[in-house]
Amino acid sequence: MKFKSQNEFTHAQADKIGVLVSNLGTPEAPSKQALKPYLKQFLSDPRVVEVPKVIWWCILNLIILNIRPKRSAEAYSTVWTEEGSPLLVHTKNQAAGIEAKLEEKYGANVIVDYAMRYGEPSVSTALTNLLEKGARKIVVLPLYPQYCASTSGSTFDAVAEDFMQRRWLPDLRFVSHYHDNPEYIKCVADKIRAHWESHPRTDKLIFSYHGIPKRYLLNGDPYHCECHKTSRLIATELGLQESEYMTTFQSRFGREEWLKPYTDHTLKSLPEQGVKSVQVVCPGFSADCLETIEEIGEENREYFEEAGGERYEYIEALNSDDAHINMLVNLLESNLQGWNTQLDTPDVYEQRMAAAKKLDAPK
């Protein structure tokens, strides 16, 4: 096996801590041509679709990839901005915000990069960037508050697959979830409170999370339970009664049963139950993307209003809010415990460099 090459190493090279933040992914453009390879990579991941490989290959390549790219491209075109994909833009800004705050504390000793699990920049590309800049310790933070094998688990697979091809491996820490982190809960609650300052409360607050097949829950995936715990903790922080909020699941795909209740079915049924106004928030999304902007912000709004609903509001994701960046930085620092003490202060760095030059000097 041929391993990936490593830049020439000298003893004078200062070790750094690398931080990799990642999110799901995005096509390079809102076009059928760009969607096809993106969807193929995404839907070929066995963590995402747990169907026998031979059967799924036929379904994916002969049916789905001939139909879905055009439909998905049309949806992406409605959310695309001059800067590009909203998810990519927000993730890039989050990484920049995290790096700026860590740099204030640790200077150039901590470096940050970002990646998309599917599409570009890839996890492998980001890891290469960190390693080439001197990262010998790396913490990976997938921006999914609730753990799911299809998201956090798949990100770990991508990191492991890259490491299997490297000769020299860094120390690794991996943040698998933060669904009940008190600071995260407060961030979401404060976002809702801020919305309430200019938009009065509605009949119901709906927490909508990305769905997964029910079969995954029955096979032991904790995602469903973590979503409900997040909702309960946010509701408690807001002082809500059980009758004032509910948890639903969106974005299902295929014909099998997924986690219920479904967001779209719920919104279609609420008006006839006397619920005429709703606010929807998506605590499973760290950044706004197609699933929040188009699916929740537009498509589900239409379902609710066509069914007789009178007032529908989507509360934006945390994105690059300062409180969110601070929360992520604090989360990362808690996972850097024991590593921070090994970071070089300027004086220690100079001493190390002087000693290293003597060690590398020709005898």
Nearby residues of 309 by Cβ (< 8 Å), 6 or more positions away:
267, 270, 271, 275, 276, 277, 278
Q: Indicate if the pLDDT at residue 44 is higher than 50.
A: yes
Could you report the per-residue pLDDT of 149-158, keeping only the tens digit for each? Answer: 999 999 999 9
Percent of the chain with pLDDT over 90: 87
Architecture per CATH, domain 16-27+80-177+322-347, reads as 3-Layer(aba) Sandwich (3.40)
Ordered by start, the domain boundaries in the chain are 16-27+80-177+322-347, 31-79, 182-315
- Model confidence at 60: pLDDT above 50: yes
Q: Do you know the residue count of the chain?
A: 363
Q: Alpha-carbon distance 212 to 98, whole Å?
A: 30
d(CA 228, CA 146): 10
- Tens-place pLDDT, residues 275-301: 999 999 999 999 999 999 999 999 999
pLDDT of residue 341: 44
Q: Is the pLDDT of residue 185 over 80?
A: yes
* The pLDDT of residue 57 is above 90: yes
Same fold, 16-27+80-177+322-347 and 182-315: yes
CATH 3.40.50.1400 fits 182-315, yes or no: yes
In 3D, which of 59, 118, 114, 65 has the Cα closest to residue 90?
Answer: 114
Residue 182 CB coordination number (10 Å): 11
Nearest-angstrom CA–CA distance, 123 and 24: 11
Cα separation values, 68 from 31, 35, 39, 49, 210, Å = 11, 9, 8, 16, 19
Look-up of token digits 């300062």: 322
Q: What is the mean pLDDT of residues 95-102?
A: 97
Instruction: Give the distance from CA 111 to its chain's centroid.
Output: 19
How far out from the chain centre does Cα 80 lie? 18
Cα torsion 284, 286, 290, 293: sign: positive
Q: What pLDDT does residue 340 have?
A: 63
Residue with tokens 């100079």: 350
pLDDT of residue 350: 60
pLDDT digits (tens, 9 = 90+) for 300-358: 999 999 999 999 999 999 999 999 999 999 999 999 988 864 555 545 556 655 665 66
Rounded mean pLDDT of 32-58? 95
Distance of CA 97 to the CA centre of its chain: 16
Is pTM, for the whole model, over 0.85?
A: yes
